[in-house]
Homo-oligomer: A and B are copies of this chain.
């Protein structure tokens, strides 16, 4: 009997998590991974910190090299190999070796599409100028870092006030000591937060010294000798020496879509709980794949390393014949901007309304530790709950050190279908260096209970 052939398109978090699981379940299978970039299994989330200079060298971001995959797990990872198309009926892919230019076909018994996501690039003039970076791959991160080291820019414009924008503004302003302008056409930063919490983030960003220009759209770039010279906005021109585009990402679903696989929300590749696509024998996982939002029950798409790892594990177990499920997400995400930690999970007030929930909310301001304990910092918690039932719908946190990871309490409570009363009953950890006697999340719960009904 011929050995089972497993092909994986994309050798980052989802693809390589899957490969590891498949190897455990199918010890004899031939597992080949095609990866377009020059690196396998690296932490894309670490790129801002590499650019900042907090992480050296870039190879520290690589979890495992192709050589290690081959030696330790007998997994063949071919980097700089791009899959150009796939033929589901024939069970083959067309691959281009990006070094030699040679194209060839390869066949699969089981296929995983883990092609990730790519940054959105607005079709404006000058977007290809030297000094403008979108951070999609480790290579683009290395290029940005080299540019910083070479030109030592004193000022950068970060376009987009989302997670990448916040982290790059931190890298430049708080680590590199550069002046930063953060530009967003939206009236608030962090659109996955409610406006009231976003305003807390915005004022902290301003307080740290970053110029925040909200409600101001990008028009184009001024260049000089092919290099960036300014960012042109709806309201004027900002002279700068470097630009980071953090305008969000889109699922790399072209390959799947062209092959007739069903697409889902925002053109992500449809995948069920086992990460199976609409086509038998083909799975999808990671930033290219759809999932379910567990509060709304609706199809959902999010590009996050932790989700990609979990999807990859489940896809690998499924492909290996095991049983595992990735039921969906609550939209948990977190980030850091200098001393400020931000996190969110579940539904914001706005999202709750959009999804037809009768929601109420509480916002509290308290301390990360016992107020008398050194290093206690301000922390805001917003909780959203359902009126009447008292069911928790989501939470948002903005605060100093120790704030953000408390979102896990809320995320776990959401997964448990808990009410505000259940939240208050939780036996959470307390000691003065870590918390108030009531955890801040529970303090917010006590306020919320007054609105959902109770105390």
Contact = CB atoms under 8 A, between A and B. Distances in A.
Given A306-B437, A425-B327, A425-B415, A370 B46 contact: yes
Contacts of A413: 412, 416
A54 interface: yes
A330 B304 CA distance: 32
Contacts of A402: 402, 405
Interface in A140-168: 163, 167
A270 B191 CA distance: 50
Contact of A431 (B326, B330, B335): B335
Nearest to A336: B433
A49 interface: yes
Interface string A306-334: 11111000000100001011110111111
Contacts of A309: 437-438
Contacts of A332: 427-430
A335 B434 CA distance: 9
Given A317-B455, A412-B413, A437-B306, A49 B372 contact: yes
Nearest to A322: B455
Nearest to A412: B412
Nearest to A333: B429
Nearest to A334: B429
Contacts of A428: 306, 332, 408, 411-412
Contacts of A414: 427
Nearest to A368: B405
Nearest to A422: B415
Contacts of A305: 430, 437
Contact of A411 (B61, B370, B429): B429
A418 interface: yes
Interface in A424-455: 424-435, 437-439, 454-455
A290 interface: no
Nearest to A316: B455
A411 B438 contact: no
Contacts of A430: 45, 304-306, 332, 334
A60 B372 contact: yes
A343 interface: yes
Contacts of A437: 13, 43, 45, 305-306, 308-309
A70 interface: no
Contact of A326 (B55, B412, B425, B429): B425
B370 A306 contact: no
Contacts of A306: 427-430, 435, 437-439
Contacts of A412: 408-409, 412-413, 416, 426, 428
A90 to B, nearest CB: 33
A429 B416 contact: no
A332 B54 CA distance: 35
B432 A49 contact: yes
A288 B44 CA distance: 52
Contact of A408 (B60, B371, B406): B406
Contacts of A307: 427
Interface in A393-424: 402, 404-409, 411-418, 422, 424
A365 B21 CA distance: 21
A374 interface: yes
A427 B404 contact: no
A345 interface: yes
14 contacts: A46-B432, A54-B373, A55-B373, A329-B427, A404-B434, A405-B429, A405-B435, A406-B408, A408-B409, A411-B426, A412-B426, A412-B428, A413-B416, A415-B427
Given A306-B427, A405-B429, A408-B439, 14 more contacts: A45-B430, A45-B432, A49-B373, A306-B428, A306-B439, A310-B425, A324-B454, A325-B425, A327-B425, A332-B430, A333-B431, A345-B429, A405-B405, A411-B429
